[in-house]
Amino acid sequence: MKKPAWAPLLALALLAGACNQTTPAQTATAPASPATAPTVTAVAVAETSAAPETIDYRQIRINGLPFETTTAELLKALGPPDRIKKDAVECGGHFEFSKGDHYEYGPSLFEVNGKRAVMGTVDFSSGTFRVTIGGQVLDQNTTFEEIRQRYPQAASKVHDWRPGGTTGPTYQGVTIQEPGTDDSLGLYFQNGKLVRFDAFSPC
């Protein structure tokens, strides 16, 4: 069949239209700006002085006995003393305004007032006594270095002490003062080893 004369013109028009078509423009995405890190302001930390070194009397145990106990419990735990000094405490004792006796176990002693008893001096030389303060152990094997690490302020003020005057042995003493009171605890060393633990109350 013979094609109409206008057919080639229609084909050319369609071809031209196809050539003029363009693909949809792609929208360019701007790169995200990097996040700005928050500014941290340095805050000065206030300096604090070292906490006072102290020993909680309630944590002290002498062969399992509390620092302050009853006379009955003392005798039950340690037996009868080697010697009793009546009215040995006239002032400066643990029980204020009351006289007291000394129950002596070798060089160690306890202050006794009626039904009450309290540690006075613990001597470690015989190996009979062992003191604990919380998790800390004090006995004849305790060294000055151990105490220095635990109580550095007190140990920095070590002093010499002679209990027998000029003729007695010389000990190196470390005093731990109780805050707000005149009471103190003394640790005494000889040749770097602990030999004595004292509780002191002035008159």
What tokens appear for 120 in the block? 């006075």
Q: Which of 3-12, 52-61, 152-161 has the lowest mean pLDDT?
A: 3-12
As a whole number of angstroms, the distance between CA 195 and CA 189 comes to 5
Is the pLDDT higher at 36 or at 100?
100
**What pTM did the predictor assign?**
0.70
Mean pLDDT of the 81-92 span: 86
Q: What is the mean pLDDT of residues 53-58?
A: 86
Q: Which pLDDT value is given to residue 72?
A: 97
Contact 67, 118 (CB under 8 A): yes
The better pLDDT of the pair 30, 178 is held by 178
Alpha-carbon dihedral 158, 164, 165, 169, rounded to 10 degrees:
-50
What's the pLDDT score for residue 15?
39
Q: How far apart are CA 53 and CA 116, in angstroms?
A: 28
Residue 165 falls in which region: left (phi positive, over 0), alpha (psi -120 to 50) or beta: left
Confidence category of residue 92, pLDDT binned at 50, 70, 90: low
